[in-house]
Amino acid sequence: MARVRNLKEILVRLKGLSQLMVDLGYAALIEDDFELAQEAIRVKAEIRELSYELRKEALLVARYTKDSRHDIPQIASLLQIGVAIKEMSDGVDDLLEVVIRNVGVHPIIRMAYTRKELRTMRFVVEEGSLLDGKKLEEVEIDLKTGFRVVAIRRKEEWILDPHGKTRIKGGDVLIVEGRDISIRKMQEHVKGPKEKAQEKNSK
C-alpha cells in the first residue's frame, strides 16, 4: 500500500513539474532570461530523478501484483508516462538552448511574444520585505491584483500550486504569472528594507 501511495505521489508531482517546466521554458525564451532558464533546469533535475523512481516503483508493482496478466499492459502505461514526461522536458531543453547559448533572442521572437499582456517572471523575496512571512492571501496575491504565484522554490524544494494559506519566506523564489503592470508593482513588494533605503538615499 505504501508503494501505491508512493507511485501516486510521484505521478501527481511529475505532472505538475512537467507543466511548470513548459511554462518556465517559454518564459525564459520570451524574457531572454538566464535565471528563468536556470529555474527550468532545476525542475528538469527533479523530473529526471522522479522518472527513475516511477520506473522502479512500476516494476515493483509488476512484480508483486496478485492480479491476472491483463494488468501488465496497464503497468506498462505507467512506464509510458515516464517516457512522455522525459520527452516533453527534452523539448523544453531545446527552448532553453536558445537562452543559454546567449546568442541573443531573435527580434522576431521578442516581437511575437511581448505584445501578450500576461508575463511569467521570477522574483527573489528578500528578508524583511513586504512579502516575507506573509500568507499568499494576506498580500492579496489573487486575481484582484492581476497576478498569480504559479510555484515557489524554497532552496531546492518546489512548492507547486501554492494556495492562500501558503506562507512566503525570505529567500523564496516566486514564479509569478500576471499582467505586465501588476508584475512591475510586484517588484516593489519583494525588496528588503536595505535596498529600499538605498533607493531613497539615491533620490
Q: What strands lie across the sheet with 147-154, from one edge to the other?
A: 118-124, 173-179, 147-154, 157-160
Binding of a copy of itself at residue 53 (CB under 8 A)? no
Minimum gap (Å) between residue 55 Cβ and a copy of itself: 14
Contact 137, 164 (CB under 8 A): yes
- The three-class DSSP label of residue 97 is helix
Count of residues touching a copy of itself (by CB under 8 A): 52
Give residues 110-139 in contact with a copy of itself (rule: CB under 8 A). Answer: 111-113, 116
Encoded one letter per residue, x for contact with a copy of itself by CB under 8 A and - for no contact, window 55-94 reads ------x---------x-xxxxxx-xx-xxxxxxxxxxxx
Binding of a copy of itself at residue 33 (CB under 8 A)? no
Out of 104, 164, 171, 193, point to the residue binding a copy of itself (CB under 8 A).
104
DSSP string, 23-59: HHHHHHHHHT-HHHHHHHHHHHHHHHHHHHHHHHHHH
Q: Provide the strand spans (E) within 55-146.
A: 118-124
Chain residues binding a copy of itself by CB under 8 A are: 4, 7-9, 11-12, 15, 18-19, 22-23, 25-26, 29, 61, 71, 73-78, 80-81, 83-95, 97-98, 101, 103-109, 111-113, 116, 143
